[in-house]
Amino acid sequence: MTSLIDIAAEAEKKSAEVTDWAGRLGWVVGLLLFVAFVYWLMRQGWKWRGSLQSDLPELPTAPDPRGEAKLTLSGRYHGSTTAGQWLDRIVAHGLGTRSRVELTLTDAGIEVVRPGATDFFIPADRLREARLDKGIAGKVLAEGGLLIVTWAHGEQLLDSGFRSDRAAEHAAWVEAVNSMNSSNHASTTEGTAR
């Protein structure tokens, strides 16, 4: 029969393993250093991607006579990618920064106002198309959950992804941007034919 002293001695051995604070502290510090290192690598990758895309020109700003607003949208800006390559994120000039957004469509183009990030303007003659899609770099939603606007910036075509607070607004934006784009191309074609 085991005595009470033997049971206490056995319990003390088991508890001694749990209270090895130096070993635990070493593991916690090591894990924190590893997480910090991984974060630093991700930040360096982001900066490297930005330097690779440094050939993109500065973002256009809205003209002073903006014109009357045809449509407005409040929601989120999810980023921009190379057109047709939904995983190739553009980070130069702040285009990779997710933020709240206020979009305004006028005859001059689309004004993109982003609190806490760089605002920009997409002139009407640079608009190529708008469509509904399900994903852009870092964000995947249900089919048709994102409004994607394709536009020319410098020598490159970009896809910018937006999500309205009221998803039912997306269809009206697609129709308005695409009709604006087709009328711009028709007037350009008529001008060159004369």
In a domain, 114, yes or no: yes
Average pLDDT over the chain, rounded to whole?
Answer: 83
122 and 178, same domain (yes or no)? yes
In a domain, 184, yes or no: yes
19 and 90, same domain (yes or no)? no
Q: What is the pLDDT of residues 103-136, one digit of tens each?
A: 999 989 999 999 988 899 999 999 999 999 888 8
166 and 111, same domain (yes or no)? yes
37 and 96, same domain (yes or no)? no
In a domain, 87, yes or no: yes
Query: 17 vs 5, 13, 20, 40, CA distance in Å?
Result: 19, 7, 6, 35
In a domain, 60, yes or no: no
In a domain, 64, yes or no: no
Cα separation of 40 and 21, whole Å? 28
What pTM was computed for the model? Answer: 0.71
Lowest mean pLDDT segment, chosen from 13-17, 25-29, 90-94, 185-189: 185-189
Q: What is the pLDDT of residues 48-88, one digit of tens each?
A: 776 777 778 888 888 877 778 899 999 999 989 888 888 88
Q: What's the domain range around 15?
A: 4-51
37 and 82, same domain (yes or no)? no
What's the domain count of the chain?
A: 2
In a domain, 124, yes or no: yes
First to last CA, the chain: 111
Name residues whose C-beta falls within 8 Å of residue 75's C-beta, 6 or more positions apart in sequence.
Answer: 100, 101, 103, 162, 163, 164, 165
